């Protein structure tokens, strides 16, 4: 159901089409109000081919570019004229919107409605060209769709203003030369009627009341639209009265006509000689705007003044000569006015240069992006034609030869093609390796679940002597399935045969582990005692953890790194290095410490087992431990020894290594055995 705002806009556009003979413009405006589809409005016939730099390119017809620019200008004028209550077709208004009207339009920043961006994009259409006709048509349609969205926004804001009734600060009736009251009566009579009823007034009384307020409508009329720079929130507004604004732009018009001759401009020195009544302060004529362009005519001065401005001031001064007070006030007001206008114009010059530089940088960056986009698109087309996939193309987008701001020629393509094909192959290899790695880790979790179910048939005390799931992954049968090709589907059922052999495989693993560790122990005379059981047989893991590993610990030790599946792995061994236990080695240093402790216990190191040392319940103290370093620590026995910890023989082996006994075995003499009598004595001394 069309709104009243859409009906207003439709009526206005239809009225415009009566006076405009350009068929393309009429066609576009009809599409704006929704009577034509975009593909019916802009077609390939609106694009023609041309030769540029010996290359065939496509560019839009001048007629459609001009029409789109006219529609852009029309949209800007519709908004700004309604904001300034300025009738269309009379005088133009500045391309900035007062704060009150901007608030009603829902504009909080420049990004909400940037006239400068619209103006710039419309100008960019003049230079639009591409090697693809479809690309040019797409660009034209995208810009037109944006204009259609802007006009839809215009309808929505018109409806919002109508909902505010007489409290609206916008005058959408200005298009027709109406007041806001006339517009509401014509298109929204229900608003007028409900407002009159709410105020207990007749419609005539209501209209009389609000007609008096129409005199407050903004009237900042300036020069023609073509002389105004595009809207920008940083551009200073001319915050002066009507006459001042008019004079400012008359000056701008005068400046633009300096080519007519030097007789229209005079230097400050000439004014001082011919019109002494015109005030000159600090080398400037303070009552008249100056022009720096005069430097091209009179090289000996920087400030020049237009004769007709001088004559106007002289006439005014002559009129007020008989009224000294009014003349003094005129001079003061005029001086301030000229100073304000000069400051505004200087700010405008700075803004113009800054904006020009910003636009130049933006255009240069846009050109770079367009070149990179076209180059990437053509490279993609070539690769797809060679049989590569979209995924292959995505893998080489960051190649230096791809992201360049240069057109792709046949020679450059032939030079870069071998490099790109090598990069694609390498990317495929890396992708396949990563996929296989993910599958390996996922399959390993299946083995982990199988082992969890398997160990439930044993008592928890036995679990410590069973292998970890990563050890099981290295078993024959399990390894083959884990390392099978990536595309193979592996489930728990795939390991059924290997799981049935698990008891035998675990027994073999335990036997092999004991044999491997036994072979690491240096040969010694121990009689019939298993070397692995001796107290002097101490192992350490390759991660250099603090654990002291003897016969009872070779099953319990689980020195596994933090579980992470982010690293690539091509086989089970590489997965094991990330998630499995590291190898053990015979620790000569710790074995020497253990030998000394066995001697302190008055036992034979060649025959004393670790369990026998545990049964002695001996306690030791290392004299190189300092109270200041460790503080008062309690080892659980309640015994304190001058601030030094009381250690078991296993703890002493570990602590002795910490205290650098590795390179100086003579310091083992600093370890003392604590008897119950000595302990009591030491505790008493504390």
Alpha carbon distance 351, 423 (integer Å): 48
N-to-C CA span, the chain? 97
Contact, 16 vs 3, CB < 8 A?
A: no
Contact, 645 vs 652, CB < 8 A?
A: no
pLDDT for res 328: 87
Angle, helix 324-385 to helix 115-124, in steps of 10 degrees: 50
Rounded mean pLDDT of the chain? Answer: 74
Summarised one tens digit per residue, pLDDT across range 582-610 is 778 888 888 888 888 898 888 988 888 88
Q: Each residue of 422-461: b (16+ CB within 10 Å) or e?
A: ebbeeeeeeeeeeebbebbbebbebbeebbeebeeeeeee
Domains of the chain, by residue range, sit at 4-233, 255-389, 437-520+539-586, 588-685
Q: Which residues touch 304 (CB under 8 Å, ≥6 apart)?
A: 265, 266, 267, 268, 290, 291, 292, 293, 294, 295, 297, 298
Q: How confident is the model at residue 400 (pLDDT cuts 50, 70, 90)?
A: confident
196 pLDDT more than 60: yes
Q: Which residues touch 69 (CB under 8 Å, ≥6 apart)?
A: 122, 123, 125
Q: How confident is the model at residue 344 (pLDDT cuts 50, 70, 90)?
A: confident
Q: How confident is the model at residue 264 (pLDDT cuts 50, 70, 90)?
A: very low
Summarised one tens digit per residue, pLDDT across range 546-578 is 666 777 677 666 666 555 555 677 788 888 777
Asked whether the CA dihedral 91, 94, 95, 97 is positive or negative, the reply is negative
Paired tokens of 32 = 């704006």
Helix or strand run (H / E) with residue 85 = none
Summarised one tens digit per residue, pLDDT across range 156-185 is 888 899 888 888 888 888 777 778 887 888
pLDDT for res 311: 66
pLDDT for res 626: 58
């Amino acid at each position: 159901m069309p709104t009243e705002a859409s009906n207003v806009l439709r009526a206005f556009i239809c009225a415009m089409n009566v006076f405009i003979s350009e068929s393309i413009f009429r066609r576009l405006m009809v599409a704006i109000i929704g009577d034509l589809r975009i593909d019916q409005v802009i077609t390939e016939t609106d694009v023609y081919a041309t030769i540029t730099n010996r290359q065939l390119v496509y560019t839009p017809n001048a007629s459609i570019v001009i029409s789109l620019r006219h529609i852009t200008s029309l949209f800007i004028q519709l908004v700004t004229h309604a904001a300034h209550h300025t009738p269309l077709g009379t005088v133009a208004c500045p391309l900035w919107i007062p704060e009150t009207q901007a608030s009603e339009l829902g504009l909080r920043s420049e990004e909400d409605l940037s006239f400068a961006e619209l103006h710039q994009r419309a100008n960019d259409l003049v230079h639009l060209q591409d090697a693809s006709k479809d690309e040019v048509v797409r660009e034209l349609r995208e810009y037109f769709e944006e204009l259609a969205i802007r006009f839809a926004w215009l309808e929505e804001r018109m409806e919002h203003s109508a909902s505010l009734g007489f409290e609206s600060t916008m005058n959408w009736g200005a298009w027709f030369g109406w007041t806001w009251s006339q517009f509401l009566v014509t298109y929204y009579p229900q608003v007028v009627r409900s407002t009159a009823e709410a105020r207990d007034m007749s419609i005539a009384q209501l209209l009389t009341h609000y007609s008096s307020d129409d005199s407050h409508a903004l009237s900042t009329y300036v020069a023609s639209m073509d002389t105004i720079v595009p809207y920008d929130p940083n551009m200073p507004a001319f915050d002066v009265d009507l006459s001042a604004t008019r004079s400012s732009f008359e000056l701008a018009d005068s400046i633009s006509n300096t080519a007519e001759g030097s007789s229209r401009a005079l230097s400050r020195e000439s004014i001082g000689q011919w019109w002494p009544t015109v005030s000159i302060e600090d080398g400037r004529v303070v009552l008249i705007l100056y022009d720096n362009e005069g430097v091209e005519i009179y090289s000996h001065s920087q400030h020049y003044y237009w004769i007709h401005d001088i004559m106007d001031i002289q006439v005014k001064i002559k009129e007020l000569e008989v009224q000294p007070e009014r003349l003094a006030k005129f001079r003061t007001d005029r001086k301030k006015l000229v100073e304000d206008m000069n400051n505004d114009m200087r700010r405008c010059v700075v803004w113009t240069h800054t904006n020009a530089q910003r636009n130049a940088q933006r255009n240069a960056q846009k050109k770079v992006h367009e070149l990179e986009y076209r180059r990437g698109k053509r490279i993609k087309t070539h690769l797809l034609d060679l049989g590569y996939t979209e995924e292959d193309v995505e893998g080489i987008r960051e190649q230096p030869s791809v992201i360049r701001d240069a057109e792709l020629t046949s020679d450059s393509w032939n030079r870069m093609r071998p490099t790109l094909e090598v990069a694609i192959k390498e990317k495929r290899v890396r992708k396949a390796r990563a996929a296989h790695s993910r599958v390996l880790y996922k399959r390993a979790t299946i083995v982990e679940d199988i082992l969890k179910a398997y160990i439930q048939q044993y008592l928890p005390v036995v679990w410590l002597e069973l292998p970890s799931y990563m050890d099981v992954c290295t078993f024959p049968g399990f390894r083959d399935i884990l390392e099978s090709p990536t595309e193979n589907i592996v489930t728990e059922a795939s390991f059924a045969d290997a799981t049935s052999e698990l008891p035998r495989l675990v027994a073999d693993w335990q036997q092999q582990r004991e044999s491997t560790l036994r072979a690491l122990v240096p040969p010694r005379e121990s009689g019939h005692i298993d070397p692995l059981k001796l107290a002097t047989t101490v192992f350490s893991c390759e991660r250099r953890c603090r654990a002291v590993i003897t016969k009872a610990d070779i099953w319990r030790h689980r020195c596994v790194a933090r579980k992470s599946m982010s690293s690539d792995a091509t086989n089970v061994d590489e997965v094991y290095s990330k998630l499995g236990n590291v190898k053990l080695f015979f620790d000569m240093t710790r074995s020497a410490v253990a030998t000394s402790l066995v001697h302190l216990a008055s036992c034979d190191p060649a025959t004393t087992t670790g369990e026998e040392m545990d049964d002695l319940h001996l306690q030791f103290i290392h004299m190189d431990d300092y109270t200041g370093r460790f503080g008062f620590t309690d080892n659980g026995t309640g015994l304190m020894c001058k601030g030094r910890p009381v250690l078991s023989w296993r703890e002493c082996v570990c602590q002795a290594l910490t205290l650098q006994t590795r390179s100086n075995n003579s310091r083992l003499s600093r370890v003392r055995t604590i008897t119950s009598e000595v302990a009591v004595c030491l505790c008493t001394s504390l």
